[in-house]
């Protein structure tokens, strides 16, 4: 294997996680209630963008891809994010709805891992969220044909400037027709708490049908 000079050695990096135990009796009855607890703690701890999650999708042939996306809502129905439906993740989810979400809360030595299926949210829900976005972000959703090849950044900026002229700050920006939300309906949700000597706590909720959940402890 080749080496890169003057670069840190990742094999030499060590971190001991000194945290409290994560035990079954402390968890909420449902994974969404438990997520709400941990999400509040991550927010209160001042973590940078605790709603940032790694969304992993795959083609029907099983070729995976991952990217960071911001969570924009969650409730008993699942986790919601928004994107261009023509993006790589949008196309892959249209062909293969199975998805994984990872919330990497390193500052708390915690992770939440969600596996499930994604479906589009309704246009009314998409429009309601779109109206809450800053004006510039609304224009950006129009300017970027996400995941497509462009000649240069100047091309992207030119599109944005054209849109700025067409839709000034005091004018409502329509919702792009190929832009909207996905809701991930969880089939399993794992709560991972880092512990000393790599003896991590891993507790996973698994759907048991009709809104019931089974709790499992996994070996680290």
Q: Which residues are catalytic?
A: 198
Q: Are strands 78-84 and 201-209 parallel, antiparallel or unpaired?
A: unpaired
Q: How far apart are the C-alpha atoms of 80 and 74, rounded to whole Å?
A: 6
Please enumerate in sequence order all residues whose Cβ is within 8 A of that of 75, keeping only pairs 6 or more positions apart, or say none: 32
Element (DSSP H or E) covering residue 89: helix 88-95
* Torsion angle (degrees, nearest 10) of CA 130, 136, 140, 141: 10
Looking at residue 133, what DSSP letter applies? S
């Amino acid at each position: 294997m080749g080496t890169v000079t003057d670069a840190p050695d990742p094999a030499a990096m060590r971190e001991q996680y000194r945290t409290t135990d994560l035990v079954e009796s402390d968890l909420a009855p449902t994974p969404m209630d438990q997520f709400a607890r941990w999400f509040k703690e991550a927010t209160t701890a001042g973590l940078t963008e605790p709603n940032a999650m790694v969304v992993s999708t795959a083609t029907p042939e099983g070729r995976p891809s991952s990217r960071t996306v911001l969570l924009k809502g969650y409730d008993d129905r699942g986790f919601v994010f928004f994107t261009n439906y023509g993006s790589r993740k949008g196309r892959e989810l249209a062909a293969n709805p199975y998805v994984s979400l990872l919330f990497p809360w390193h500052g708390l030595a915690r992770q939440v891992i969600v596996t499930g299926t994604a479906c589009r949210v309704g246009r009314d829900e998409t429009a309601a969220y779109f109206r809450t976005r800053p004006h510039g972000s609304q224009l950006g959703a129009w300017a970027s044909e996400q995941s497509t090849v462009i000649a240069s950044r100047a091309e992207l900026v030119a599109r944005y400037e054209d849109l700025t002229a067409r839709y000034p700050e005091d004018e409502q920006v329509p919702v792009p027709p190929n832009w909207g939300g996905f809701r991930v309906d969880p089939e399993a949700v794992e709560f991972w708490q880092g512990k000393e000597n790599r003896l991590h706590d891993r507790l996973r909720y698994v759907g048991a049908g009709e809104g019931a959940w089974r709790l499992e402890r996994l070996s680290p």
